[in-house]
Structure 1
Amino acid sequence: MPLLLKQLAIRTGSIFIVKIMGLIGRISLIRLVGAEGIGLYQIAYSYYGLALMVIVGGFPTVLAMLTAKDPAQGWFWFRRISLLLIGLGGIISYVTFLLSPQIAELLGNPNLHFAIRCIAPALFVVPLLSLLRGYLQGLERYSVIAFSELIEQAVRMGALVVIVILLLPKGSPIAVGGGILGTFLAALVSFLLLIFACRFVQQDSLDKGYPHQHRTDRNSMFSWILHTSLIISFTRLLVPLSDCIDAIIIPNRLQAAGFTASEATSIFGVITGMAMIVVYMPTIVTAALSHTLTMKIVSDWKEGQVAKFYERTRCALELGWVWGCTAGILIFTYSKYISWYIFGTYEASEPIRYLAAVPLLVGLRELTTSMLWAQERKKVPLVGLIVGICIAIPIQYFLVAVPGFSYAGPSVGILCLELVTVSWNIGALKLSRVGIRLRPLIVDMILLFILMLAVTLGMNSLMTYHVSNIFQLALGITLYSGGAALYIFWRSRSMNDVLFQSK
C-alpha cells in the first residue's frame, strides 16, 4: 500500500472514531441537559476556541513544516516554542479564571460564569499538546497522533458525561461547566502519553539519518517562524472569532425577534450543538486528506515540481467535490430522520437541511487553504476569511431578528462565510493552471442526484408494503452510500497514482 494512502487511511479512521465518540458524548449531553444546556455549552466553547487560537496561533503548522525538512531543527524549536506557550498559556489561563464573571457578561449570559472558570486549566495544557502533535506531524508519525487523539477523546467524553451526571442536581449551568473540565483532564493524559512516546519517536527519526540542512542563523529563523505563525494564526483565528461573535449576536438578535433568553439559547444550541455537528461530520474525510497531503505538496512546491503540485491539487479538489456532493445530498434528503434518530427530536431537521452544503464548502476550503499555504501564499486565505466574515455578520445581524427566520438567518450567514472564503481561495489558485474542468464536476452532481432520486422512489414504493420507517431509512442510506462509494471508486481510479505516490 502506498505510504500516503496508508497515512490517509490511518488519519481518516482515527478522526472518524474520534468524531463518533464526540457525537456519542454530545448526544448524551443533549439528553441530559437539553437544548438550552447544549446552547450554554456551545457559547462557552466559542470563547475557549478563540482563547486557544490566540495562544497556539500557527505554531503547530509551522513546526510541522520545519520538522518535515529537518527533524533536528524541529526538535530544537519545539523546546523553545514550548517555553513561549507555557508563559502565554499560563497568563491567559489565569486571566480567564480571574475574570470569568466579566467574560460571561460579555458573552451575554451570566450563567456561563462557572463554565468559563472551568475552561481556564485547559488553556494551559492544550496548546502544548497541539504543538507536540505538530512536531509529530512533521515526522509523519500519524499512528502515534491518531492513538493520542483516541485516548484524549475517550477521556474527555467519559469525564464529561460522568461529571455532568454528578452535578446535574445543582442545575444545568453548573453541570455543563463541570463537564468542561473533561477537556483539561483529557488533554493532560494525552500530553503525558505523547511525551513518553516522543522519546522513542525522536530517537528513531535520528537513527534513520534524515539529511540536515545548513543551520540558519537562529535569530532569522525565529523571525521566520514568528512571521509565518502569525499569518497562519490570523487565518485560523478568524474562524473561532466568527464563532464567538455568532455566540453573542445570534442569541441577542433572537431575543430581538421576540424569543425569551431561554428560547434563544435553545435555538442557538440546536444550530451549533446539533445541526452543525451533523453537517461537519463528513468533513473528516477532506480534513484527513488535507492533513496527509500537506507535507507532500509542500515538498513538491519547494523542490520546484510545479507540474506534480498542480496535478495533486487537481485530483484532491475533484475528490473533495465528489465527496462533498455525496454527503450533502444524503444529509439534505434524510435530515428529518437524522435529527430524530440521533437527537430524539425533529427540531434540528430544518437547520440540518439548510446547512447541507457545508460538507462541500468546508472540504474545499480546507483543501484550498492547505494548497495556498504550500505555495507560501498564506495571506490569501486570511483575506478571504476576512471578506467572508464581513459579509456574514451583517447578514446574520439583520436576518436573525426577522420573525420566522430563527434557523434560516444563522444558516444563511454560515453558508455565506464558507461560500465567499472558498470562492476566494479557488480564484487565487487559478483553475486554469490547476486544470479542473467544470463539465465533469456538473456531471458528478447530476449523477449523484439521479442516484438519490432512484433510491428515494424505491423507498417510497416500499410504503405500500407497510415496511417500518427505520428499515426504510437504513436500506435507503445503505443503497445510496453503496452506489456513491462505487461511483467515487470509479471516479478516483485515475487519481490514486497521482495522490498517493511518494515522489
Structure 2
Amino acid sequence: MNRQSFLHGALILMISGLITRIMGFVYRVFLTRIIGAEGMGLFQIVFPILGLVLTLVTAGLPLAISKLVAEAVAQNDKARVKRIMAVSVGVVSVMTIILTIAMYTCRGFVQHHWLSDPRAFPTYLVMIPVVSIIAVSSLYRGYFQGLQDMSPTAWGQILEQTVRIISIWILAAYFVQFSLAYAAAAAMMGMVLGELCGLLFLIVAQRRRGRLDDVLPEGATRSQESVRQTLHAMGEIALPVTFSKLIWSLLFAAEPILVMRALQAAGFATATATTLYGQYSGMAIPLLVFPTVFTGSLATNLVPSVSEAMAASERYRVRIRLSQSFTATAMVAFPTAVVLTMFSGPLTHYIYKEDSIGPILAVMAPFMFLLCLQAPLTGILQGLNKAGIAMVNSIIGGVLKLVLIYVLAAKPTIGILGVSMATVASFTVSCILNLWFVVRYVGFTIRLQALTRVALASCGMFLYMQVITWRQNPLSFGSMMLAIVGGFILYFGLLCALRVLTTRNIRRVPRIGPLLARLVSWMPFAI
C-alpha cells in the first residue's frame, strides 16, 4: 500500500470526482430524457428518506474511522486500528439490520403519510436494499481515507457510475412504457446495482492493497489505549457528526414535503409541483454543485491530514492546508460562478431540453464561492475535533432554509425561485459561521492578494464571454461553447500572468506536475 501525500490524495479524488460527476451528468441527462422532470421529481422525493436512514445506520463512523485510523497509523498502533474497525463493523451491522426491517415494516405509513406523491412508493421499495450496501461501503472508504490511500475510493466511484449509466439504458428505458412510477423505480434499481459493484471492488482492493499487516508490518500488537478510551474517542467524533447529519437529514426529509405544500398553497397542482421540484433538485442542483467535486475532495483529504498534523503537534501544517484549500476553492468557484450565471438559460436548454430551469439556477450561481468553501471549512473543523461546531452551524443553515421556503415558495409571484433563494441563504450563513470558527481556532489570515488576482482573472474571462456572445439571441450551441472553452483558456492564461499559477507550485502536483509546469512556463509573464 502506497501512502499518498495530501496533495496527491486530493488530486486523485478530484480527478475521479470530476470523472464521476461528468458521468453523473450523463446519467441525469439520459434519465431526464427518458422520464422527464416529473419522473425526476418522483425519483428525488425518496432521497431525503435514504439520507435519514443512512445517517442512523452509519452513525458518523466513516469520519471517525478516517480520523482515528490516520492517528493510529501515525503512532504505528496496529492494535488500535483493528479495534476501531471491529467496533465500527459491529455498530453498523446491528443498525443496518434494525433499520432495514423497520423501513419494510413501516412501508404503509411512509406511503400514506410521508411521500408527498404516492407514485414514488415503488421507488421507495426498491431503495431499501441499498441501505446495507452503502453502509458497508462507507466503512471501507473511511478505512482507506484513514490510510490516506484514495485510489480505491476513486476507482470504486467510477465503477459505480458506469454501472448506473448502463442500467438506465436497460431498465428505465424499458419500464417507462408502463408508467413513470416504475421507470423511477428502475432508475433506483440502477443505483442499487452500482453501489453493489462499488462495494465488491472495495472488498477486493482491501484484500490486495489494504491489509493491515502490510500497512503496519512493524506496528505494535498491543495498544496503550484501552477499549474504553477507543470507544470514547470514536464517540467524541461520531456523535456530533451523527446528530448533525440526523438533524440535517430530518430537515432534508422535510424539504420536499414543505416545498410541495408551499407550491400547492401558491396555486400549483400536485403534478406541476412535482415537476417544479424535479427541476430544482434533479436538474438545477446537480449543475450548481458540480464544482464542489473539487472542494469536496479537499475536505475528504483534510480530515485525516489535519488529524495527523494535530497528533504530531504541527499546527502550522493546518494553516498551510487551509491556505491551500482557500486559494484552490477561489480558483474553481469564481470562474464557474461566471459561467453558470451568464449561461444558466442556454446551458439548461441544451442539456435538459428544458427552458424553465435557467432562472432557478441563475438565482444560486453567483454565490458559488461560499457553497464550495463550506466543505473544506467543515473538514478542518472535524479534523480539529470541533465537529460539534460544524454540526450547529449546519443546523442553523438548515432551519433557516426551511423557514424561508415556507415564507417565499408559497407566494405565487416567487414559487420555486423561493426555494433557490432559501438554499443560497442556508449555505451562506453556514459557511460564514464555519469560517469564523476556523479563523478563531487556527489563527488563519485570509490572503486577499491571492483572491484579488483570481477575481481579476475571472473578470477577464467574463469580459471575453460578453464580447463573444454580444447581441446573440437566442444563443447558439456553438457560440456558447466557444465562449466557455475560450473563456477558460483565457482564465488559465491570466492566472499564470498574475502569478497565481507558477511553475514552482505546479511542479509539486504529483506525476503530471512537470508536464503542467512546462505548459505554464510558456505563458506570458509566468515564472
TM-score range, shorter chain: over 0.9
Q: Check if 1:125 corresponds to 2:127.
A: no
Gapped regions of structure 2 (runs ≥ 5): 511-527
- Letter matched to residue 35 of structure 2: V
- Letter matched to residue 436 of structure 2: G
User: Equivalents in 2 of 1:227, 1:255: separation in Å?
Assistant: 43
Shift of the 373–364 alpha-carbon distance from structure 1 to 2, 3 Å rule, reads same
2:45 is matched with which residue? 43
- Letter matched to residue 244 of structure 1: A
Q: CA deviation at 1:207?
A: 5.6
User: Equivalents in 2 of 1:406, 1:446: separation in Å?
Assistant: 35
Shift of the 227–433 alpha-carbon distance from structure 1 to 2, 3 Å rule, reads closer
User: Equivalents in 2 of 1:116, 1:468: separation in Å?
Assistant: 40
2:61 is matched with which residue? 59
1:435 is matched with which residue? 445
Confirm or deny: 8 A CA contact 2:70 2:307 kept in the other structure. Answer: no
Find the residue that maps to 2:470 and give its secondary structure: helix
Q: Check if 1:469 corresponds to 2:476.
A: yes
Confirm or deny: 8 A CA contact 1:115 1:173 kept in the other structure. Answer: yes
Confirm or deny: 8 A CA contact 1:311 1:498 kept in the other structure. Answer: no
Q: CA deviation at 1:138?
A: 1.1
Shift of the 299–486 alpha-carbon distance from structure 1 to 2, 3 Å rule, reads farther
Shift of the 492–170 alpha-carbon distance from structure 1 to 2, 3 Å rule, reads same
Shift of the 155–210 alpha-carbon distance from structure 1 to 2, 3 Å rule, reads farther
1:74 to 77, 81, 93: 81
1:135 is matched with which residue? 143
TM-score by length of 1: 0.92
Q: CA deviation at 1:438?
A: 3.8
Confirm or deny: 8 A CA contact 1:101 1:113 kept in the other structure. Answer: no
Shift of the 106–34 alpha-carbon distance from structure 1 to 2, 3 Å rule, reads same
User: Equivalents in 1 of 2:27, 2:507: separation in Å?
Assistant: 38
Find the residue that maps to 1:416 and give its secondary structure: helix
Q: CA deviation at 1:345?
A: 1.5
1:148 is matched with which residue? 156
1:108 to 100, 104, 116: 116
Q: Check if 1:175 corresponds to 2:183.
A: yes
Q: Which moved more, 1:247-256 or 1:295-304?
A: 295-304
Q: CA deviation at 1:356?
A: 0.3
Confirm or deny: 8 A CA contact 1:297 1:374 kept in the other structure. Answer: yes
1:21 is matched with which residue? 23
User: Equivalents in 1 of 2:474, 2:278: separation in Å?
Assistant: 34
Q: CA deviation at 1:284?
A: 0.7
User: Equivalents in 2 of 1:6, 1:413: separation in Å?
Assistant: 36
Aligned pairs for 1:382-461 (under 5 A) are: 382-430=391-439, 433-438=443-448, 440-442=450-452, 444-460=454-470
- Letter matched to residue 123 of structure 1: V
User: Equivalents in 2 of 1:134, 1:496: separation in Å?
Assistant: 29
TM-score by length of 2: 0.88
CA-based RMSD of the aligned residues comes to: 2.5
Shift of the 298–433 alpha-carbon distance from structure 1 to 2, 3 Å rule, reads same
Shift of the 494–428 alpha-carbon distance from structure 1 to 2, 3 Å rule, reads farther
Aligned pairs for 1:173-252 (under 5 A) are: 173-203=181-211, 206=214, 209=217, 211-212=219-220, 214-252=223-261
Q: Note the alpha carbon deviations across 1:332-360, whole angstroms, 9 max, x for none.
A: 01111110111012121111111104532
User: Equivalents in 2 of 1:403, 1:409: separation in Å?
Assistant: 10
- Letter matched to residue 52 of structure 1: L
Q: Check if 1:97 corresponds to 2:104.
A: yes
- Letter matched to residue 319 of structure 1: A
1:325 is matched with which residue? 334
Q: CA deviation at 1:253?
A: 0.6
User: Equivalents in 1 of 2:22, 2:11: separation in Å?
Assistant: 16
User: Equivalents in 1 of 2:310, 2:364: separation in Å?
Assistant: 35
Q: Note the alpha carbon deviations across 1:197-235, whole angstroms, 9 max, x for none.
A: 212223376365465484311122113212321112223
1:269 is matched with which residue? 278
Q: Check if 1:87 corresponds to 2:94.
A: yes
Q: Check if 1:348 corresponds to 2:357.
A: yes
2:515 is matched with which residue? none
- Letter matched to residue 89 of structure 2: S
1:310 to 319, 338, 349: 319
Q: CA deviation at 1:36?
A: 0.9
Find the residue that maps to 2:360 and give its secondary structure: helix
User: Equivalents in 1 of 2:90, 2:504: separation in Å?
Assistant: 43
Confirm or deny: 8 A CA contact 2:45 2:116 kept in the other structure. Answer: no
Q: Note the alpha carbon deviations across 1:380-431, whole angstroms, 9 max, x for none.
A: 1111112112222111101001012123200111011100100001111227
- Letter matched to residue 111 of structure 1: R
User: Equivalents in 2 of 1:379, 1:493: separation in Å?
Assistant: 38
Q: CA deviation at 1:266?
A: 0.3
Q: CA deviation at 1:370?
A: 0.9
- Letter matched to residue 352 of structure 1: L
Q: Which moved more, 1:428-437 or 1:15-24?
A: 428-437
Shift of the 498–405 alpha-carbon distance from structure 1 to 2, 3 Å rule, reads farther
Shift of the 426–263 alpha-carbon distance from structure 1 to 2, 3 Å rule, reads same
- Letter matched to residue 328 of structure 1: A
Q: Note the alpha carbon deviations across 1:146-166, whole angstroms, 9 max, x for none.
A: 111111121123224422122
Q: CA deviation at 1:467?
A: 12
User: Equivalents in 1 of 2:447, 2:215: separation in Å?
Assistant: 46
Confirm or deny: 8 A CA contact 2:335 2:461 kept in the other structure. Answer: no
User: Equivalents in 2 of 1:255, 1:119: separation in Å?
Assistant: 27
Shift of the 239–317 alpha-carbon distance from structure 1 to 2, 3 Å rule, reads farther
Find the residue that maps to 1:460 and give its secondary structure: coil
Shift of the 207–99 alpha-carbon distance from structure 1 to 2, 3 Å rule, reads closer
Stretches of 4+ aligned residues off by more than 6 angstroms: 497-501
Confirm or deny: 8 A CA contact 2:458 2:491 kept in the other structure. Answer: yes
Give the number of equivalent residue pairs.
Answer: 497
Gapped regions of structure 1 (runs ≥ 5): none
Q: Which moved more, 1:413-422 or 1:169-178?
A: 169-178
1:11 to 10, 13, 17: 13
Q: CA deviation at 1:450?
A: 3.7
Shift of the 493–300 alpha-carbon distance from structure 1 to 2, 3 Å rule, reads farther
2:490 is matched with which residue? 483
Confirm or deny: 8 A CA contact 1:320 1:363 kept in the other structure. Answer: yes
User: Equivalents in 2 of 1:5, 1:223: separation in Å?
Assistant: 31
Find the residue that maps to 1:327 and give its secondary structure: helix
